[in-house]
Amino acid sequence: MKRADRIVSGSGMDVIFGQELGRGGEGSVFEVDGRPEVVAKIYHKPLPKEKQDKIEAMVRLKTERLLRFTVWPVEVLRDSGRRVIGFLMPRLNGKEIHKLYGPKTRLTEFAQAGYPFLVHTAANLARAFAAVHEEGHVVGDINHSNFYVTDQATILMLDCDSFQVQSGSKRFGCDVGIPMYMPPELQGVTSFRGMVRTRNHDNFGLAVFIFMLLFMGRHPFAGKYSGQGEMPIERAIREFRFAYGPSSSARQMQPPPGSLPLQLLPPAVQALFLRAFAQESMTRRPDAQEWVSALQEMGGTLVPCAANAWHHYPAHAGSCPWCAMEAATGGLLFRPADSAYRTSAGAAQAGAGSSSADPGGGFHLPAVWGQIQRVPKPAGARTLPEPSSLQPQLSAPVTAYLRRKRWRGALSLLSLASGAGVWIFLPGFWILTVGVLAGFNLLLLAAGRGRRALREERAETCSLLRVRWNEVSRRYIEASGHGAFSAKLQELEQARRDYLDLEGYKAGELRRLEGRQRAVQLQSYLRRQRIDQAQLDGIGPGRRATLALFGIETALEVETHRLARVPGFGPANTRMLLAWRDRIERRFTFDPVLGRVPAAEVLAVERAVEARTRELERRLSAGAAELMRISSGIRARQEAALREAGGTAQALAQAELDLKVL
Amino acid sequence: MKGLLAMFEFDQIPFAAEFAENPEPRCPCILLLDTSYSMSGQPIEELNRGLSSFKEELMTDSMSVKRVELAVVSFGPVQATSDFGTPDDFYPPMLTASGNTPMGAAIEKAVAMLEDRKNVYKQNGISYYRPWIFLITDGAPTDDWQRAASLVREGEAAKSFMFFAVGVENADMNVLNQIATRAPLKLKGLRFADLFSWLSNSLNSVSHSTPGDQIRLENPASPEGWALI
């Protein structure tokens, strides 16, 4: 811009510029001296005739209605050669719309905005489009920086000079556009020059922005694509792959995890989105007026959530989707429930009894804690039956052996007697005597071998059983131990203490941030204390130059390990410099205004506190059930071990008795 | 109508918090920073200073702060000093110089990290811009860099990322030329501040465009730029 030139407004007044408010690719925006209600946009380059005509036409076409929703040009600005070089427009207020629909920035930039505010803004955006359309113009360049939202949820459109403007039969075109917000029929267009833009094109972009406002900043065509390759948003738009519609899965699209399901919106609004994004209806997308009435109606159906005063949702949904989505993702969509609200609600419930959850799904520590305390501690280990104290019976093989042994005894006596008889009465038949005696001996031998085998077998069984007995009684004692139960209980007690001290935790985190601010401030303070300007006796300019050579120029760099690297810099000088730094550091006072912790960082702490709160609530709520599970697990293992121990003890006692008799 | 919500599953979803709070398309950018011993002294200090001003500059743009994601891999030895996060979550590391220059391994790590991140985006239905890998080195690789070079060639050909290499002081520009398909740039002096300023401007223009758009970057090798070809 040539400042030397005299710049004259359409009303013939000289225009004196104030401060530059912003600078874009096309031009700059300035304050205007003496006229706080308007600002001046001045183009960087001389304008072609067509553009000059467009601005003149726009000024002529300004209406009160347009000026309610846009920063429409109100006066032409000319240089001394009467060429149009810019225009005056109403001063803008508000913030870019993406700061509202993105939850992360919404929490800082529009801290008070709940869902009603978003629905209201969406309706106002549609009203702004309706105003532009009904005057015969088309927005054309729809993008996230061109819509401003005020804290009253009203909309102001920017960059009106890029609109497609209809002046009688003359049409001034719109040459720009961002593909992400363009309808399928304009995807892949390389130049918009000379192209006629229609309201139906605009209606696609309008639907995209309404969607982003209602769906926590999600783009309707950004979904999970199950096919091969990449699915950028423009391709998804071109191929009608709306991620939330009933036919989305047929198009290999799925809504992103943790996003709002379309079905939770009132049916009328669902229907408008489907019509705006479907191929069949691409020639008759919902117009701005249709959106206005549907959104207005939707605004009336919103109900508050019982758990969080900042949550409102369509009554149609049945319960609060934001609570569910926040719990699933761990992200924060709206402001967290005020802790005061939570505490008082918890206190009120404490006396009310045993229910751990109120109808809204809230969390009440006293009730939850009561449940945890009511879980019975598992029974301790009983004394196991000692095998020796049992009255066992001999085992079947041993009983059988003993019976056989009696018969064998009788038989061998018989054979001994008959052997003796033969020898006495039939001395000639000594062979028979030998045979009978041999039979007797064989029988004795067999009996001895049977007993040995049986004894060995029983001894082995006995030692195996003894090992098993030791093992099973150890297992029983282990199973009866309260280790897991007490550990869980201790963990829950810790969670309860943490929950009660959330404020303390938050304060600690904030203190940490403040401490960091202090450290940063101290650093920059030290950096301002230059060695070359300091009073340091004995450290002359030469020494100071050497220090500078080693990067030691300010108090900040005065550190023992750095000084140690400087050649010829002895302990005395080092001590002196360190003492100087100490003196300076003691003089430092923290400026709390300058060192205020940035709002975003405070919010990050709040978010962390909220996440911690939820996590503790989750753990505590699950606590009683988990303790119960641990307790019944202990009981089950205990009983199983007891059964096994009983059987083992019996078998062991029997084996020991067997051994005794063998 | 009670219970309509119950039809939908809201199971715990990994990584979902950051995307629920900020579903904007992402432009991932990995800084591959040489922290080998030769960077000691002024170079590493200027680099550290450049990194903090980089964060500040990205924070001033309301779109970059939502769309740009930074990660830092330092090498000598190779480590992911910061994992992907938007500039507000990025805390510039205090890099110290030590060790050798395992540039090949560092590039391989960066390519793998990008693949992982893209998968996270896809799982979460988040659109993304072509990622950037930005290598800054003052030396020559001390490890085998042939595989890394072919990864870079493949990635560039498939448009799965853009790889920029910047040489500082005595960097081996010859090897950089063999690794990068784009002409490597030579940093004038230690003008890290200007380099990062250029990088943040470029990422700003990317974050204002649509994923897939061709972005015209300001020529860093102009007379007043920070680089020499």
DSSP string, A132-187: HHHTT-B-----TTSEEE-TTS-EEE--GGGSBEEETTEEE------GGGS-GGGT
What tens digit of pLDDT does each residue of B128-166 get?
988 999 999 998 899 999 999 999 999 999 989 999 999
CB contact under 8 A, B16 and A223: no
Return the exposure string of A184-216: e unless at least 16 CB atoms fall within 10 Å of the residue's CB, then b: bebbeeeebeebebbbbbbbbbbbbbbbbbbbb
- Where would I find the beta strands (DSSP E) of chain B? 27-34, 68-75, 79-85, 132-137, 162-167, 185-187, 227-228
What tens digit of pLDDT does each residue of A104-143 get?
889 878 878 999 999 999 999 999 999 999 999 999 999 8
What tens digit of pLDDT does each residue of A592-633 get?
887 788 888 888 888 889 888 888 988 888 888 778 777 777
Residue from the list A102, A145, A324 with its beta carbon closest to the beta carbon of B10: A324
Task: In whole angstroms, give the CA distance from residue A56 to residue A35.
Answer: 21
What tens digit of pLDDT does each residue of A159-198 get?
999 999 999 999 999 988 888 999 999 998 888 888 999 9
What tens digit of pLDDT does each residue of A33-70 get?
888 899 999 999 999 999 999 999 999 999 999 999 99
Bridge partners of A224? A254
A348 has a pLDDT exceeding 70: no
DSSP line for A370-436: HHHHHSPPPP-PPPPPPGGGS-----HHHHHHHHHHHHHHHHHHHHHHHHHHHHHH-GGGHHHHHHH
CB contact under 8 A, A319 and B88: no
pLDDT of residue A590: 86
pLDDT of residue A388: 73
- Single-letter amino acid, residue A603: L
Of A310-319, A567-576, B174-183, minimum mean pLDDT range: A567-576
Confidence of residue A263 (pLDDT cuts 50, 70, 90): very high
In terms of CA atoms, which chain B residue is nearest residue A243? B125
Q: Count of alpha carbons within 13 Å of A570, Cβ hemisphere only? A: 3
User: Of the candidates A348, A144, A333, which has an alpha carbon nearest to the alpha carbon of residue A320?
Assistant: A333
- Residue predicted with more confidence, B179 or A327: B179
Task: In whole angstroms, give the CA distance from residue A140 to residue A129.
Answer: 11
Cβ-contact A447, A623 below 8 angstroms: no
Give the full edge-to-edge strand order of the sheet including A147-149. Answer: A95-96, A147-149, A155-157
Task: In whole angstroms, give the CA distance from residue B110 to residue A574.
Answer: 44
Cβ-contact A587, A529 below 8 angstroms: no
pLDDT of residue B136: 93
B12 has a pLDDT exceeding 70: no
In terms of CA atoms, which chain A residue is nearest residue B160? A230
Of A557-566, A595-604, B69-78, minimum mean pLDDT range: A595-604
Task: In whole angstroms, give the CA distance from residue A70 to residue A94.
Answer: 12
Kindly state whether A261 is in contact with chain B, defined as any CB-CB distance less than 8 angstroms: yes
Cβ-contact A219, A301 below 8 angstroms: no
Task: In whole angstroms, give the CA distance from residue A407 to residue A422.
Answer: 22
- Given the DSSP bridges, would you call strands B27-34 and B68-75 parallel, antiparallel or unpaired? parallel
3-state secondary structure of A475: helix
3-state secondary structure of A104: helix
- Given the DSSP bridges, would you call strands A147-149 and A95-96 parallel, antiparallel or unpaired? antiparallel
Task: In whole angstroms, give the CA distance from residue A67 to residue A74.
Answer: 9
CB contact under 8 A, A319 and B5: yes
Give the distance between the most distant pair of CA atoms in chain A.
Answer: 167
Give the distance between the most distant pair of CA atoms in chain B.
Answer: 71
Rank A148-152, A192-196, A398-402, B57-61 by mean pLDDT and report only the highest. A148-152
Residue from the list A224, A264, A315 with its beta carbon closest to the beta carbon of B122: A224
- Single-letter amino acid, residue A575: R
Q: Give the torsion sign (CA, A309, A315, A318, A324).
A: negative
Whole-number mean pLDDT of chain B? 87
Whole-number mean pLDDT of chain A? 85
Q: Which alpha helices (H) appear in B135-191, and where do they start and end?
A: 146-157, 173-179
A524 has a pLDDT exceeding 90: no
Kindly state whether B122 is in contact with chain A, defined as any CB-CB distance less than 8 angstroms: yes
pLDDT of residue A650: 83
Instruction: Give every CB contact of residue B62 below 8 A, 6+ residues apart in sequence.
Output: A96, A98, A99, A105
Reported as type and span, the H/E element at residue A216 is none
- The Cβ of residue A344 has, within 10 Å, a number of other Cβ atoms equal to 11
CB contact under 8 A, A318 and B25: no
* Residues across chain A: 662
CB contact under 8 A, A145 and B16: no
A223 contacts on B by Cβ (under 8 Å): 125
Task: In whole angstroms, give the CA distance from residue B89 to residue B210.
Answer: 23
Confidence of residue B217 (pLDDT cuts 50, 70, 90): confident
Cβ-contact B81, B226 below 8 angstroms: no
A460 has a pLDDT exceeding 90: no
pLDDT of residue A172: 96
What tens digit of pLDDT does each residue of A293-332 get?
999 999 999 999 988 888 999 998 989 999 888 888 877 8
Instruction: Supply the ipTM of this predicted assembly.
Output: 0.88
B46 contacts on A by Cβ (under 8 Å): none
A376 has a pLDDT exceeding 60: yes
CB contact under 8 A, B19 and A256: yes
Q: How many CB pairs under 8 A join A and B?
A: 146
DSSP class of residue A220? T
In degrees, rounded to 5, the angle at the alpha carbon of residue A99 between the alpha carbons of residues A74 and B59 is 105
Confidence of residue B22 (pLDDT cuts 50, 70, 90): very high
User: Of the candidates B103, B7, B4, B192, which has an alpha carbon nearest to the alpha carbon of residue A314?
Assistant: B4
CB contact under 8 A, B212 and A224: no
What tens digit of pLDDT does each residue of A478-510 get?
777 777 788 889 989 999 999 999 989 999 988
Task: In whole angstroms, give the CA distance from residue A177 to residue A202.
Answer: 11
3-state secondary structure of A339: helix
Kindly state whether A22 is in contact with chain B, defined as any CB-CB distance less than 8 angstroms: no
Reported as type and span, the H/E element at residue A84 is strand A84-90
- Residue predicted with more confidence, A440 or A18: A18
Portion of chain A with pLDDT greater than 70, in percent = 94
Kindly state whether B42 is in contact with chain A, defined as any CB-CB distance less than 8 angstroms: yes
Confidence of residue B7 (pLDDT cuts 50, 70, 90): low
CB contact under 8 A, B6 and A319: yes
Kindly state whether B59 is in contact with chain A, defined as any CB-CB distance less than 8 angstroms: no
Show which of residues 355-384 on chain A sit within 8 Å of chain B, judged by CB atoms: none
Portion of chain A with pLDDT greater than 90, in percent = 38
- Single-letter amino acid, residue A503: E
3-state secondary structure of B28: strand
Catalytic residue, from A141, A159, A161, A658: name it: A141
B45 contacts on A by Cβ (under 8 Å): 551
Q: Report the gap between the CA of A90 and the closest CA in chain B (Å).
A: 23
Backbone angles phi, psi at B83, to 5 degrees: -90, 170
* Residues across chain B: 229
A429 has a pLDDT exceeding 80: no
Backbone angles phi, psi at A138, to 5 degrees: -130, 135
Instruction: Give every CB contact of residue A295 below 8 A, 6+ residues apart in sequence.
Output: A119, A122, A123, A126, A210, A269
Show which of residues 437-476 on chain A sit within 8 Å of chain B, judged by CB atoms: none
pLDDT of residue A622: 80
Cβ-contact B81, B73 below 8 angstroms: yes
Kindly state whether A333 is in contact with chain B, defined as any CB-CB distance less than 8 angstroms: yes
- The Cβ of residue B185 has, within 10 Å, a number of other Cβ atoms equal to 23
Q: How far is CA A380 from the centre of its chain?
A: 42
3-state secondary structure of A634: helix
Judge whether A338 counts as a catalytic residue: no
Which of A107, A211, A329 has the most B C-beta neighbours within 10 Å, making it the best mutation to test the interface with B?
A: A329
- Single-letter amino acid, residue A436: V
Q: Report the gap between the CA of B131 and the closest CA in chain A (Å).
A: 14
